[in-house]
Amino acid sequence: MSSSISSLEASGSRTRNETDDLSLEEQQSSQRSTILRVYNYYRIVLSFLFLFLFLDPNFQRFVGSVNPDLFQRTIIFYISINVLIGLATLFIRVEILSRTAPSLIILVGDIVCLTLLMSTSGGVSSGLANFLIFTLAFGGGLIHGRVSTVLPAIAFILTIYDEFYLFFLDENTLRSFFQAGILGIVYFAANILFQTLSRQLRTRETEVHTLEQINQLVIERMRVGVVVIADSEQPRLINHAAVQMLQNPGDKLSPRGHLPEILLDKLAEWRQDTSPEVAKFTVFETGPELLANFSLLNAPSSESDTLVFIEDSTVVQKRAQQFKLASLGRLSASIAHEIRNPLGAISHAAQLLEESDNLNKGDQRLSEIIQSHTVRMNGVIENVLQMSSRQIAEPRSIVLHEWMDKFLEEFSAGVPDKLDIETVFLSEPIIIDVDPLHLSQVLGNLWQNGLRYSAKHTGEHKLKVVGGIDVNSRHAYLEVIDYGTGVDTDLVPNLFEPFYTTESTGTGLGLYLSKELCEANDARLSYSKAVTGGSCFKIIFLA
């Protein structure tokens, strides 16, 4: 899919304007084709109507009364031409016939034929001249510009010529010239009226097309993914942001291909219960967590299209993080003044009480409990203060295995126990952009937890650290694997919640702080069960 997208973007940026102009021209051509198709039906019906009137003895005094032979030859020729043009539309695209030159030839031919039929029937007094009005009206819609005005001019000249011809044959009177003049005015009026209506319709189409272009451009440039899904679960529309978020870098599908199964499953769940809740999902293991919001475009029915807005949760979390840090800053200042000072006084008093010689063993035990809990509360306050006063990440490029050797040396120097930390790098060199201080805080916390749980289960302080590059997303990752018993399945959803802990001495802020530091560095921290039976904390570096 990635190769298809790159080629689509490269060609799309160059040909967008040409495609838009072509689309507008196609719309106008479709309008002319519709008018020509309707006019063709009108011509065929009209020609057969004249033939029926000519063959009926009751109407022979109205049609073909002056020259029946010429009328007969003309109507047969007219019917033949109309039928041939009608058959031609079955093999030739109507758009070709609706162009200016073919349309002009057809309309001029109709004017000549209708004028001959009118002349052989007694001129304007026969009433056949009224049918020219419809021909000229259709001409105003088919042919644009000044060329269209030629049609009523030709019709008027031929009508006047016929009246002169019939006048010399004593088939009409001077009154017929007045009627011909009135008809000439009507010819021009009908043609100009339909030209105006056609021009307004084209202007309206241009405005609608411009708005459509603007909508497409806005949707395409949106950072939020937009997908319109048909009832057949195929995408009718999908913008660039949605393609980027929904594609697996290893796939070679086109942007119009099938949507990920996980998104379709979420859509099916929403259709069963159209609640406004946001659906969370990931397309592939190393991909970001996405948020999908569904809504119906039409009235609720089985054939309704569904509009889906897709956002990257990391982007949403970054926006919320600024507000969170500001709130934590105010909270930490309150904690420092309102809790830390009295807590220090309690701790100091407990120390003095322990030094007294008059305490029995029971009172000494109570003093120890006070002292241990004040130390724990002070740890909570330290973590909160550290979290709220954290500086903005200052990432720089580091070679992971070189940096890891230095960090392992520094970490081991501050731990009295014998450590067994195995580091494995599946590919070298691994270069990442991260704040080294933040990374050391995260790894220090994860290693301390892993070593503690490994020692509880095996009696040895050992860990395994694996680094590599994901073959699909090409993102670097780092795994911290311990040899403990792992986290119970029902506790995993709350693992990164603040102040959540399963130990009596824990603060519940270590993993939460580690996750926050990872997000500040465009990284993602996740948990999974390790093959060792213990825990595996994986850091994926997205930058």
pLDDT in tens, 323-360: 665 666 666 666 666 777 777 788 778 777 777 777 77
Question: What residues contact 96, with CB distance under 8 A and at least 6 apart?
Answer: 102
Question: What residues contact 339, with CB distance under 8 A and at least 6 apart?
Answer: 377, 381
Most distant pair of Cα atoms in the chain: their distance = 149
Question: What residues contact 513, with CB distance under 8 A and at least 6 apart?
Answer: 383, 386, 387, 441, 445
Between 24 and 406, residue with greater pLDDT: 406
Q: Which residues of 73-87 are buried (b: 16+ CB within 10 A; e: fewer)?
A: ebbeebbebbeebee
- Domain limits, the chain: 2-217, 222-313, 316-388, 396-541
Query: Of the segments 226-235, 254-263, 277-286, 432-441, which one has the largest average pLDDT value?
Result: 432-441
Q: How high is the pLDDT of residue 539? A: 92
57-61, 148-152, 163-167, 241-245: segment of lowest average pLDDT: 57-61
For domain 222-313, give the fold: Beta-Lactamase (3.30.450)
Residue 262 predicted with pLDDT over 70: yes
Each residue's pLDDT tens digit, 380-418: 666 666 655 555 678 889 999 889 988 888 888 766 678
Q: How confident is the model at residue 322 (pLDDT cuts 50, 70, 90)?
A: low
Q: How high is the pLDDT of residue 538? A: 93
Beta bridge partners of 310: 225, 292
Contact yes or no for 47/82 (Cβ under 8 A): yes
Contact yes or no for 516/467 (Cβ under 8 A): no
Between 412 and 450, residue with greater pLDDT: 450
Contact yes or no for 459/484 (Cβ under 8 A): no
What is the C-alpha to C-alpha distance for residues 307 and 274, in angstroms, rounded to an integer? Answer: 13
Residue 187 predicted with pLDDT over 80: yes
- The beta-strand segments (E) located in 348-495 are 396-399, 419-425, 431-434, 461-469, 476-481
Q: How high is the pLDDT of residue 479? A: 93
Residue 23 predicted with pLDDT over 60: no
Each residue's pLDDT tens digit, 281-305: 888 766 677 888 888 876 554 457 8
What is the C-alpha to C-alpha distance for residues 148 and 191, in angstroms, rounded to an integer? Answer: 8
For domain 396-541, give the fold: Heat Shock Protein 90 (3.30.565)
Token output for 522: 């465009």
Contact yes or no for 185/129 (Cβ under 8 A): no
Question: What residues contact 238, with CB distance under 8 A and at least 6 apart?
Answer: 225, 226, 227, 228, 246, 255, 256
Beta bridge partners of 397: 433
Rounded to 5°, angle at Cα 318 from 313 and 320: 95
pTM of the complete model: 0.46
Query: Of the segments 229-233, 240-244, 338-342, 535-539, which one has the largest average pLDDT value?
Result: 535-539
Residue 267 predicted with pLDDT over 90: no
Which has the closest alpha carbon to 100: 151, 47, 156? 151
What is the C-alpha to C-alpha distance for residues 43 and 106, in angstroms, rounded to an integer? Answer: 11
33-42, 91-100, 238-247: segment of lowest average pLDDT: 91-100
Q: In angstroms, what CA-CA distances link 458 with 3, 410, 452?
A: 49, 24, 10
Amino acid at 299: A
Which has the closest alpha carbon to 182: 215, 145, 156, 147? 156
Span 113-140, average pLDDT? 86
Q: How high is the pLDDT of residue 173? A: 79
Q: How high is the pLDDT of residue 16? A: 44
What is the C-alpha to C-alpha distance for residues 418 and 441, in angstroms, rounded to an integer? Answer: 21
Span 88-115, average pLDDT? 80
